[in-house]
Amino acid sequence: MAIFNKERDNKKIIMAAENPTGSSNRIVTETKFKGEINSKSDFRIDGEVEGTFQTSGKLVVGRTGVIKGTVICENADIEGKITGTLKVSSILSLKSTAVVEGEVYVDKLSIEPGAVFNVSCSMKGGKNSFTINEKPQAPVTAEKQPPK
């Protein structure tokens, strides 16, 4: 995220630019997409996506948005439903209407009361750290140790 400082009438104004190119993509309500999406821009999903979704920008899943598959992104705000694997390299924010089920790999996590979060979750810095441009992999599982 780029941050710009401006002086106006002796007041400091901070403007944030999530996407410096100003471009974004959108899948609207009642639109269904099946396949692979790769984008460098921000993305909003209000329709349905099944497959692999990857962006180096911010992902917003609206209340009517549904994703089934693998999602890899920089930041995510979720109001709708995601089922599968979700990898967020920075901040994942779940709104009260969000439903997330599957596996989640994240750096920072924010969950509003009411959100459904039925996942196995790994925070960045642990064994399952990742980068945005990696290919989806099978999860790392810990081997059980015999009792001492």
pLDDT tens, 119-139?
A: 999 987 644 455 555 554 444
Are 65 and 46 spatial neighbours (Cβ–Cβ below 8 Å)? yes
Spatial distance between the Cα atoms of 125 and 52, rounded to a whole number of angstroms: 24
Spatial distance between the Cα atoms of 129 and 122, rounded to a whole number of angstroms: 8
Q: What is the β-pairing status of strands 32-39 and 48-55?
A: parallel
Domain boundaries of the chain, sorted by first residue? 23-114
Tell me what pLDDT residue 128 has.
45
Phi first, then psi: give them for residue 140, nearest 5 degrees: -85, 130
Residue 115's beta-bridge partner residues? Answer: none
Are 128 and 107 spatial neighbours (Cβ–Cβ below 8 Å)? no
| Residue given tokens 């750290």 in the structure block | 129
pTM for this entry: 0.71
| Residue given tokens 């911010």 in the structure block | 58
pLDDT > 90: what percent of the chain? 66
Of residues 43, 98, 118, 37, the one with CA closest to residue 74: 43
Tell me what pLDDT residue 23 has.
75
Are 90 and 50 spatial neighbours (Cβ–Cβ below 8 Å)? no
Spatial distance between the Cα atoms of 42 and 26, rounded to a whole number of angstroms: 9
pLDDT at 15 over 70: no
